[in-house]
Structure 1
């Protein structure tokens, strides 16, 4: 980031997004600094455009910001962990104020001096945040200096795994050769000759075995699958697919996992919100984002009927208690505008529409073929439903 870019951005904050609280919230650690879901699928499914209001799980903010950049009239990013919305606030301020190159460097998609990042936060971005977000980031300077994209618990786990891979499985030079492949034929040849080794295959039971999923947060089904090796097999197969069946040049998920940065200069190699067009769009649309601190159901309960045109709930149904699933789908059905769609995903579990709502939420046949284009490496399933009027 240059001094010119800092001076250009200074004072260009524009309208801040609104932020509201809905019911009880938590102040947890930053779990995800990025969304490990390809936002191109949500953009295709939810068709953001004029007059369309969307409600999205915040997580790392990538999907919400990408949908807003793609033209949604209004996007509400909802998370019960207020720290996640602190992240979305700062990401939006960065991309709307700095432009693609400088915002990418500030966030950690590309290298930058650590002092420079803190200077940009202090001198340009801090004043654009709400009091709650400002207090959080003031208290976490190392996350800003090191680059926000690596600041979450998921990213620290991924970075530790990547360090182990470089130490014991694949040297840096081999990883660099894989990431520099220009054709699927090159990727497949390298994978077959050098990548798919016994050490590579042994890595997955270590990373995704019973010890990874210990604790009360995970339900008995997850514990059983971890003990059986099902998760290890799933993640190994997903990585094999990403390394052999999808172009690696634009797969920013893989690049960040293995190299700690996004691909440089590849068309489509950035999340949509970080592209030049995305940053330009967000600079003029930032007031169209609302941040909702609270559960997805609590937010919907406060909204008028038939007022929302698209919903993306990620994989939250995997970890909600069973008693919370029906109220969630009930509120989505009530608040869905005519022609609304719902997207949901699975990472570890399997989400079924509750029996009482199967006539209301009708899965679209193209969900599976859309999922075939998902670059995110770890996801298990993507479903798009048309929301039909009750009765």
Structure 2
């Protein structure tokens, strides 16, 4: 049995347990952490929900850069390849994400054309994708990844069969979006109607008149007052407290309304594939809008040619950095992982980041709440070696089309 298969369950995944569990099992906090861990045993993010265009602008990502990033759904790692970095190390504690990242890379390396890749990774109910996998990918995968995709899910179906349907409707996030659609329909709204909007004005009108009133409904206010309400987004219990801190610690309905307003109203629908997934549960066709960067035809050749520069590791960020030489990394992408961490874990991470940081290195990350979480938690001695680009962080955070997070943050190594 492969390592991916052995570690697929939360109870067997010691790396995930050590990262997540911070309280006693019989405490309320400990029970929340363990419930989240059980939900995290499967695929969480079939699509990553951080905007790669913002990432690449913030990092000024370019040729020769050595990048370490958390994998998640793998979309952003592929987008980074359009800038021809020297190398990308991808880390993730979730073995399902590891298998997905490796499969996406293999699709670019071994499928015959952009059209084949786009059908396989971006298609909606493409009955030929399983056959394409067996023909082009299966013989070229490493044993662990092949065993994973040839294995069976909880319903006894081959995992690879999800690409014949729509992988973005699966995973914890896909099921959370489905639940949101079900709740909306119970209140008389079909969110799929939003993708018929043809202008920002129509998007704003749809949100103000049909979506916003839902957040005043008793059922939705009750649901969003529970920590488990965010587990479907792959957000752990610690992040609930960060979000609730801006709303008297009670219902998150006002916070989520504000985030959904940004997703629905601040960017033209045809340019925001995140909104298409949230409201339409699919990507747009080429006549309806723009695909993610990594699926666009103009980026295909560059990603294919650079795919061999990526290494995917089932590890946490700190342990990967601990094995690297000093001054060997130029760009760090932490997603929202630090919202999981206690002070000890944060200081261990930033000790390794600082040790491995090359001159002018850049760290980017997101947080559930607006403020950076580092102040007062990470040693002042460490933070004094970095410059927090506060104004630029805020400006780029406004441009993040995914709209989930409260804060986007950029730290640059001082000379």
TM score, norm. by length of structure 1: 0.84
Match of 1:52 in 2: 65
Residue 120 of structure 2 contacts residue 126 of structure 2 at CA under 8 Å; is this kept in 1?
Answer: no
Question: Which stretch of the first structure deviates more once superposed, 323-332 or 116-125?
Answer: 116-125
Distance 2:95 2:239 in 1: 28
SS of aligned partner of 1:249: helix
Match of 1:188 in 2: 204
Match of 1:117 among 125, 129, 149: 129
Trace 1:1-391 onto structure 2 (pairs within 5 A): 25=15, 28-96=41-109, 97=111, 99-107=113-121, 109-114=122-127, 116-139=128-151, 140-171=159-190, 175-176=192-193, 178-197=194-213, 199-202=214-217, 204-210=220-226, 212=228, 218-219=237-238, 222=241, 225=244, 228-265=249-286, 269-347=290-368, 351-353=373-375, 354=378, 355-364=380-389, 365-389=391-415
- Structure 1 position 25, deviation (Å): 4.3
Distance 2:342 2:126 in 1: 44
- Structure 1 position 204, deviation (Å): 4.5
Distance 1:169 1:54, change over 3 A: farther
- Structure 1 position 219, deviation (Å): 3.6
- Structure 1 position 179, deviation (Å): 1.7
SS of aligned partner of 2:228: coil
Residue 327 of structure 2 contacts residue 359 of structure 2 at CA under 8 Å; is this kept in 1?
Answer: yes
SS of aligned partner of 1:44: helix
Match of 2:4 in 1: none
Distance 1:358 1:135, change over 3 A: same
Residue 125 of structure 2 contacts residue 163 of structure 2 at CA under 8 Å; is this kept in 1?
Answer: no
Residue 99 of structure 1 contacts residue 280 of structure 1 at CA under 8 Å; is this kept in 2?
Answer: no
- Structure 1 position 341, deviation (Å): 0.4
Distance 1:320 1:193 in 2: 39
Distance 2:76 2:325 in 1: 24
Residue 263 of structure 2 contacts residue 403 of structure 2 at CA under 8 Å; is this kept in 1?
Answer: yes
SS of aligned partner of 1:31: coil
- Structure 1 position 270, deviation (Å): 1.7
CA RMSD of aligned residues (A): 2.8
Distance 1:214 1:158, change over 3 A: closer
SS of aligned partner of 2:123: coil
- Structure 1 position 51, deviation (Å): 1.3
SS of aligned partner of 2:139: helix
Structure with greater contact order relative to length (CA < 8 Å, sep ≥ 6): 1
Distance 1:180 1:296 in 2: 41
Question: Which stretch of the first structure deviates more once superposed, 298-307 or 27-36?
Answer: 27-36
- Structure 1 position 274, deviation (Å): 1.2
Distance 1:143 1:55 in 2: 29
Match of 1:11 in 2: none
Residue 205 of structure 1 contacts residue 229 of structure 1 at CA under 8 Å; is this kept in 2?
Answer: no
SS of aligned partner of 1:36: coil
Residue 79 of structure 1 contacts residue 85 of structure 1 at CA under 8 Å; is this kept in 2?
Answer: yes
For structure 1, the 5+ residue unaligned runs are 1-22
Distance 1:184 1:223 in 2: 31
For structure 2, the 5+ residue unaligned runs are 1-12, 17-39, 152-158
Residue 47 of structure 2 contacts residue 74 of structure 2 at CA under 8 Å; is this kept in 1?
Answer: yes
Residue 241 of structure 2 contacts residue 249 of structure 2 at CA under 8 Å; is this kept in 1?
Answer: no
Match of 2:27 in 1: none
- Structure 1 position 223, deviation (Å): 9.1
- Structure 1 position 283, deviation (Å): 1.2
TM score, norm. by length of structure 2: 0.79
Distance 1:224 1:200, change over 3 A: closer
